[in-house]
Structure 1
Amino acid sequence: NLLAPLSFPIYYTKDFGQSWKVSKFDGVPDGELLAGGGDPVIVFDSKGWAHMTWLTVTLTLPSLKAEMALRYAYSKDGGATWIASEKMIDTGDIDPTDPIKSKRLIDKEWLAIDRSNSVYQDDIYMVYVELIPDSLENVAGTILIKKKLANDLDFSEQAVAVNTNDYVLVQFSSIAVDNEGVVHVFFMGVDDADHTAFYHAKSIDGGASFLPEKKISDFHLPGFTPDQPNNILVGVDSSRIYPCPHMRVDNSGGPNDGDLYAVWTANGITNKASSGLDIYFTKSTDGGDSWTTPIILNDDNEPTSHQFYPSLHVNEQGVLIVSWYDRRDDLNNIQTHYYMTYSTDGGKSFESNFAVSSSASDFNSIGDKNGGFGIGEYTQVIASSAYAIPVWSDGRTNDGNIDLFIAFVPLYEAALGYEQVGSISSAFSVEGPSPNPISEGGILKLILQKRSDVTIELHSLDGKLVQRHAAWNFPAGDYEIPIDVQDLTNGIYLLTVKTDFGFLSKKLVISGK
């Protein structure tokens, strides 16, 4: 509903994704007319406090003057309640009738927190871009850093410039802090000869200043180079086709500690290499002074299929995880899954790609109910020591509705691409099945906050439906549902609970027969 008020709901879990609740805090400024916004980012400090920044665009009537604001809030209780700063981190303005008439734009902020034992421990860094439009061909810009000291309530007034060179356009920054407290920034720059490239800059004094940036790699992407139109991704507005660069650092203390990793979307390096978009990867083992020749991570070997919007994470064991949207399963480049791979040797090799989404989304209809905006751009993968946890926007109902999905992928275990996957919803939760592995029978606990039709299905790994319990209509409450597998053979199965509010699929192992 395009006329519905915008909101910023925050879902949180305290049982590793078994159930979800919605915070009453939604980030909408009281008494202001919200016209847009987004870009939410959350980091956690050593005390377990959550720190969040986000962008809002508010309108003043009747002038229609629009103000952009980067805002900050923190939570001491795992996301249940939040304390918002009354002070904006930074502000800008935008002319909704003609963005080129805007005086100052601020955009695309990302956060990193210093988890080292340096003097900068728990300091938070926010990187973003300041854009001063001159014309469609020239938008003067600077990559900026603002910092919040560990014991301060707000970010610094003064911003520090990251890039020292002049560019026709700079954008799409990413940030990480290593175990020595060095701040690393990765960003895109376009020079006056229309050369598009990625650059790395670092600060060795806690973000007070940055050493001159060094070029990492060129890249070729439709819309950023004049030889290819940027309307090639069905379901993604041409203005939102971008390289989606991300950088992370290995802080595991292991053999690859301090290594930097970067990913992005492109269809070539210096020139167009394919009609389809791919996920590129490079690494640095010397603090960003040099970088390996980029390689393509998607292993479909299909030059026309599209892979885009990668996300990157390194867990505390040094496992490097990359996830992205992928269309290899559809020759028409429309049906879209969410894929993943990971590396346990510092990016020297990667596991075979696999889908973490259990159903594809038809991107012909993905933006039907949000004015063509589509899936958004801030999807991410995170991880614990044992699980990769990709989070993505999913439109598998193919009616224009978009849901937020999450998967828990057991690392080092390839028998099934995920241990559980499903909708993020506070209206229902599933516990069990118990026991698991199971030999004859067990119990699945279902908790409903509202009345719902409920269907339970069991599929084999090849997708065959082996059991289905017809829809029940349950009022709100707690239910223990028996599971009978006496007639099934040993193996790995997928147990799916479907409700009016979404679904949850879990791995069920049958053994002992």
Structure 2
Amino acid sequence: MADRKVPDEPPMTLHRQLATLLAELLLCATLCGQGSASPAQPELIQVGPNILVSRDGDLPHVELMVAANPRNPKQLVGAAITATQPAGGWACKTYASLDGGSVWLDTTIPEQVEWGGGDPQVAFTDDGAALFANLTDARDEKGHMTVSVNVYRSEDGGRNWSRPVVAAAHADHPQIAVDYSGGPHRGRIYIAYLHGYPEYQVSVVHSDDGGRSFSAPAPAASGKGVIGINVTSIHVLSDGTLVVPYQDFDFHQHATPPKEATSNLWVATSQDGGETYSQPVKVAGMQERLQPALGGFAMLAADTSAGANRDHIYAAWSDYSSGQGRVMFTSSADRGHTWQPPRVLDGSGPAGSVQYQVQVAVNKDGVLGVSWFDTRAARDVAHYDEYFAASLDGGASFLKPVRVSSATSEMFGAGNMQIRPTTWHFEQAVRISFTSPATRWRAGGDYMGLAADAEGVFHLLWADSRSGTFQMWTAPVTVSRVAAGEQLREAASRRSDVTEKIEIITDPAHYDPATRELSMPVRLKNMTGEPLYPPIRVTATKFGSGEGEVWRDYAPEILNAGNGKTGPGAEFTFDNALGGLRSLAPEAITGPVTIRLKISDPEKIPDMHLKVTAASTPK
């Protein structure tokens, strides 16, 4: 049948204008949360497909971090702790995407494989080089084991890394930030870290040559041996002011460890490039849950856009003051000197649900994004999903939170409960620690990843255990303010064969020898150079290998085609695999659609031939 041209849309009449306005208001009522910013201006959060990042086996991946290149929106770099040592010990790996988060390439760091490590951090320099920093075990010149902050630099977006530079010795919990401001220290790289037990000190080193060398440390804060402190996410304001937040905690030993503890969040600032620091300012008090440990650090973000909230600083954390874990939020409009009283960011969760593992970021337009783990849609607190909320008015109000993860995670899944013995040296002895991801990193680590790219898209990277093992998953989230009529209008397009311009990607498949059933998650990557619109269909045209029809008689039976066919002509729709998006952008990738096959003979499986069709905008 010939393609039918969609007629041009007639001019909008007054009746249609009123209908469109009503649709916009209804959409806003659906999407805007309590205390929404502007009921006359609809806001929209669009969640893209969930993408599996870690394709390196059923190894747990925890404590994730992600960064976006300020000069190239297609370049992202991530990192995680995983079991990469030959004996099963914990070390860090990096992951790089050159297409905006659709496809990721992993890199193993030799020093990590040899010595192990943790606390991964990633960033990009002002000129677009990727940076990876982490803790690395090593022996000092006297042969003693020590822990240092190693920094690596990559000129190709994170695929290959330089030899490491030691930024700080005898350190813990490094945090990295880069000065993108117009201030006198533009391009400076800062690393804050914890050291000096039992005094508990936070110091900062910096680099002015792109991470090739680092300064001597400058003290930023101290617990003075009275109370423990630990640094959290550092940031640089638009004039180059460095903001160093930290939490305090009781480090004394207790016969019976408490289930909850009170902590305080503080900030110290430096206006001379990290040389000296102000007296700390208290941001807020926090009530933490220690048993079970579901929380994560308080996280901060700074608005460095040219908008009305420039240099506003935002902080969010999981707090148990009400008896339930809820995301608390506060902000400062005067560069950290004073702070608003903390308030619950989202109170819509049911009683008994928990919100934890909070991350914060601000995009180029001043949109504030907050992500967290949430148990509201799960049967208990051991199951969770990734959620996201956004504010368009500097945190005065937030849009209704949206669920980002397409499947619920299981904290105590089989892979997360796998005990992994780890050997290490301490106090002139060799120890073996018996840890599993669920016992050591019950919340998936100290932090997850949230970054905004140069086009304003948020990229979430979280420890997802839908498979029973913590894996790295990501999803793009776009926050926009658009007219509903424009957003929902069907694209004037025609359906065509795009098979030659589509890359088919498979997630890890599962084969059951007992039933001879193969479950194969399939994704589509758009290589056409233009957006593709529904209907997006994948059709099995035939089975056969080689030049002819080799093994044709052993063709598998297709078990779950949308049109019910079990052989050639079986069709699968990918419309719902777009997540919350209405088109598949160039170089973007869909969510997975699982194709289930009944294998006739596992030793003779013919190739499956596929055709892909989609609607594209008119030439």
Band of TM-score, shorter chain: 0.7 to 0.9
> Percent identity of the aligned residues?
22
Does structure 1 residue 178 correspond to structure 2 residue 233? no
C-alpha displacement at 1:210, in angstroms? 0.2
Does structure 1 residue 207 correspond to structure 2 residue 265? no
Q: Any idea what the Cα deviations from partners look like across 1:217-262, whole Å, max 9, x if unmatched?
A: 1111123xxxxxx12xxxxxx4xx4541111111001110010011
Q: Counterpart amino acid of 1:57? A: D
Cα 1:363–1:115 change in 2 (3 A) is same
State the match for 2:149 in structure 1. Answer: 70
Does structure 1 residue 314 correspond to structure 2 residue 394? no
- Scaled by the length of structure 2, the TM-score of the pair is 0.61
Matches within 5 A, 1:383-422: 383-384=452-453, 385-398=455-468, 401-412=469-480
State the match for 2:122 in structure 1. Answer: 42
The structure 2 residue matched to 1:277, chosen from 325, 331, 345, is: 325
The structure 2 residue matched to 1:123, chosen from 188, 198, 205, is: 188
State the match for 2:552 in structure 1. Answer: none
Deviates more, 1:373-382 or 1:203-212: 373-382
State the match for 2:312 in structure 1. Answer: 259
State the match for 2:531 in structure 1. Answer: none
3-state secondary structure, aligned to 2:111: coil
Taking the aligned partners of 2:167 and 2:436, their CA distance within structure 1 comes to 30
State the match for 1:358 in structure 2. Answer: 406
Deviates more, 1:42-51 or 1:286-295: 42-51
Q: Counterpart amino acid of 1:364? A: F
Q: Any idea what the Cα deviations from partners look like across 1:278-332, whole Å, max 9, x if unmatched?
A: 1111100001110011112233343421111111111111111111111011242
Taking the aligned partners of 1:113 and 1:353, their CA distance within structure 2 comes to 30
Taking the aligned partners of 1:196 and 1:510, their CA distance within structure 2 comes to 55
Matches within 5 A, 1:78-477: 78-85=157-164, 87-92=165-170, 106-132=171-197, 139-150=198-209, 153-156=212-215, 158-163=216-221, 166=224, 167-190=226-249, 196-223=263-290, 230-231=291-292, 238=293, 241-268=294-321, 273-274=322-323, 276-365=324-413, 367-369=416-418, 371-374=435-438, 375-384=444-453, 385-398=455-468, 401-412=469-480, 440=495, 442-443=497-498, 445-447=502-504, 454-456=520-522
Taking the aligned partners of 1:451 and 1:171, their CA distance within structure 2 comes to 38
Unaligned runs of 5+ in 2: 1-58, 60-82, 253-260, 421-434, 439-443, 485-489, 510-517, 525-535, 546-568, 584-589, 597-613
State the match for 2:109 in structure 1. Answer: 26
Q: Any idea what the Cα deviations from partners look like across 1:331-368, whole Å, max 9, x if unmatched?
A: 42222101101111111111111111000011122622
Taking the aligned partners of 1:57 and 1:91, their CA distance within structure 2 comes to 10
Unaligned runs of 5+ in 1: 93-105, 133-138, 224-229, 232-237, 417-434, 459-465, 476-480, 501-507
Q: Any idea what the Cα deviations from partners look like across 1:91-123, whole Å, max 9, x if unmatched?
A: 22xxxxxxxxxxxxx221111111112110100
Is the Cα–Cα contact under 8 Å of residues 404 and 475 in structure 2 kept in the other structure?
yes
Cα 1:492–1:243 change in 2 (3 A) is closer
Is the Cα–Cα contact under 8 Å of residues 142 and 163 in structure 1 kept in the other structure?
yes
Is the Cα–Cα contact under 8 Å of residues 124 and 131 in structure 2 kept in the other structure?
yes
Taking the aligned partners of 1:294 and 1:264, their CA distance within structure 2 comes to 10
Cα 1:402–1:331 change in 2 (3 A) is closer
3-state secondary structure, aligned to 1:83: coil
The number of aligned residues is 426
C-alpha displacement at 1:446, in angstroms? 2.8
Cα 1:199–1:451 change in 2 (3 A) is closer
Is the Cα–Cα contact under 8 Å of residues 393 and 405 in structure 1 kept in the other structure?
yes
Is the Cα–Cα contact under 8 Å of residues 328 and 342 in structure 2 kept in the other structure?
yes
Cα 1:414–1:209 change in 2 (3 A) is same
C-alpha displacement at 1:27, in angstroms? 5.1
Is the Cα–Cα contact under 8 Å of residues 199 and 217 in structure 1 kept in the other structure?
yes
3-state secondary structure, aligned to 1:88: strand
Cα 1:191–1:26 change in 2 (3 A) is closer
Cα 1:436–1:216 change in 2 (3 A) is same
Taking the aligned partners of 1:352 and 1:451, their CA distance within structure 2 comes to 34
Taking the aligned partners of 1:468 and 1:449, their CA distance within structure 2 comes to 14
Is the Cα–Cα contact under 8 Å of residues 129 and 173 in structure 1 kept in the other structure?
no
Taking the aligned partners of 1:487 and 1:287, their CA distance within structure 2 comes to 45
Cα 1:107–1:469 change in 2 (3 A) is farther
Q: Counterpart amino acid of 2:271? A: I
State the match for 1:103 in structure 2. Answer: none
Deviates more, 1:49-58 or 1:208-217: 49-58
Taking the aligned partners of 2:178 and 2:574, their CA distance within structure 1 comes to 51
Taking the aligned partners of 2:544 and 2:302, their CA distance within structure 1 comes to 48
Taking the aligned partners of 1:405 and 1:45, their CA distance within structure 2 comes to 25
RMSD: 4.0
Q: Any idea what the Cα deviations from partners look like across 1:188-207, whole Å, max 9, x if unmatched?
A: 02379985211111011110
Taking the aligned partners of 1:296 and 1:140, their CA distance within structure 2 comes to 33
Is the Cα–Cα contact under 8 Å of residues 8 and 28 in structure 1 kept in the other structure?
no
C-alpha displacement at 1:151, in angstroms? 5.6
Taking the aligned partners of 2:507 and 2:221, their CA distance within structure 1 comes to 52
- Scaled by the length of structure 1, the TM-score of the pair is 0.73
Cα 1:4–1:457 change in 2 (3 A) is closer
Taking the aligned partners of 2:344 and 2:248, their CA distance within structure 1 comes to 21
Taking the aligned partners of 2:105 and 2:595, their CA distance within structure 1 comes to 17
Q: Counterpart amino acid of 1:390? A: L
Taking the aligned partners of 2:246 and 2:270, their CA distance within structure 1 comes to 14
Taking the aligned partners of 2:390 and 2:494, their CA distance within structure 1 comes to 32
Taking the aligned partners of 2:410 and 2:183, their CA distance within structure 1 comes to 48
Is the Cα–Cα contact under 8 Å of residues 372 and 387 in structure 2 kept in the other structure?
yes
Cα 1:467–1:218 change in 2 (3 A) is same
